[in-house]
């Protein structure tokens, strides 16, 4: 059951974060784009699990994912709503993996090398892009509540965050977590002037710590998941 669930989660991350560009997100309230998003999830899940004979798997993913996203649209786009939405998706995928493992008449044929690629890509996408959604929604609330005016390049903070999480992911995979400390030091130097303003310094610190926490946690989880698919 565990390998199937891990592949479904990795497929979810790929479809939800990598294969859902901003134009699709913005138009997902339109029924055709919502259905397209569900179809993408169903196809990616079916390919990731390599469950060629289990036709119920993509149908389940399509129906349940579309239903959850339909409910989500009724709520504000907040960090809490994002966490609740992702939790609902994970619970639904756990139920699907349990059914596949216990009641499906056909077993999923998982090729170890393909599975490891899916897990690695899914983990990287979750770390770099998936985290960005949560961090962005959380820090946006802080910015609005404190009337902070942020300068710099438009979207610069987002790209910096994604690059730092990508570096952390690579460092964890290389077995060099200690090098993350140098990344923290380098970022502190570049943010020295901004750190002189208390509110802005605290805002940056919160975003940075959350980014590092998610990156280290998700990279470590990806390494653990890979051990479930020995070559």
Cα–Cα distance, 47 to 100 (Å, whole number) = 15
Assess whether 100 and 39 both reside in one domain.
yes
Assess whether 6 and 74 both reside in one domain.
yes
Tens of pLDDT along 2-56?
889 999 999 999 999 999 888 888 888 889 999 999 999 999 999 999 878 888 9
HSE of 71 in the Cβ direction (CA atoms, 13 Å)? 12
Per-residue model confidence (pLDDT) at position 14: 97
Contact criterion met (CB below 8 Å) for 133 and 17: yes
- Higher-confidence residue of 187 and 223: namely 223
- Is residue 50 a part of any domain in this protein? yes
Q: 68 lies in which domain range? A: 2-108
Break the chain down into helix, strand, coil percent, rounded to 5.
80, 0, 20
Cα–Cα distance, 9 to 43 (Å, whole number) = 14
Residue of 182, 178, 169 lying closest to 211 (CA atoms):
169
- Is residue 114 a part of any domain in this protein? no
Assess whether 180 and 206 both reside in one domain.
yes
Assess whether 96 and 134 both reside in one domain.
no
Give 230's contacts (C-beta < 8 A, 6+ positions apart): 112
Q: How confident is the model at residue 91 (pLDDT cuts 50, 70, 90)?
A: very high
Give 32's contacts (C-beta < 8 A, 6+ positions apart): none
Look up the pTM and report it.
0.88
Cα–Cα distance, 77 to 87 (Å, whole number) = 15
**Measured at the alpha carbon of residue 172, what is the angle toward residues 213 and 157, in degrees to the nearest 5?**
50
Quote the number of domains for the chain: 2
Cα–Cα distance, 13 to 119 (Å, whole number) = 10
CA 78 remoteness from chain centre: 16
């Amino acid at each position: 059951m565990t390998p199937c669930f891990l592949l479904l989660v990795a497929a979810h991350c790929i479809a939800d974060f990598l294969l859902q560009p901003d134009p699709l997100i913005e138009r997902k309230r339109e029924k055709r784009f919502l259905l397209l998003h569900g179809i993408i999830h169903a196809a990616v899940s079916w390919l990731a699990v390599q469950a060629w004979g289990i036709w119920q798997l993509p149908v389940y993913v399509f129906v349940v994912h579309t239903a959850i996203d339909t409910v989500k649209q009724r709520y504000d786009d907040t960090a809490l709503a994002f966490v609740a939405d992702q939790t609902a998706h994970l619970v639904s995928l756990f139920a699907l993996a349990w059914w596949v493992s216990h009641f499906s008449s056909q077993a999923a044929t998982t090729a170890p090398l393909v599975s490891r690629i899916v897990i690695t890509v899914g983990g990287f996408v979750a770390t770099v892009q998936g985290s960005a959604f949560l961090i962005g929604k959380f820090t946006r609330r802080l910015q609005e509540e404190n009337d902070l005016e942020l300068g710099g390049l438009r979207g610069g903070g987002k790209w910096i965050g994604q690059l730092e999480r990508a570096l952390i992911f690579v460092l964890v995979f290389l077995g060099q977590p200690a090098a993350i400390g140098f990344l923290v030091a380098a970022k502190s130097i570049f943010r020295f002037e901004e750190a002189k303003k208390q509110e802005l310094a605290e805002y940056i610190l919160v975003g940075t710590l959350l980014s590092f926490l998610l990156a280290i946690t998700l990279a470590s989880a990806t390494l653990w998941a890979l051990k479930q698919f020995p070559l």
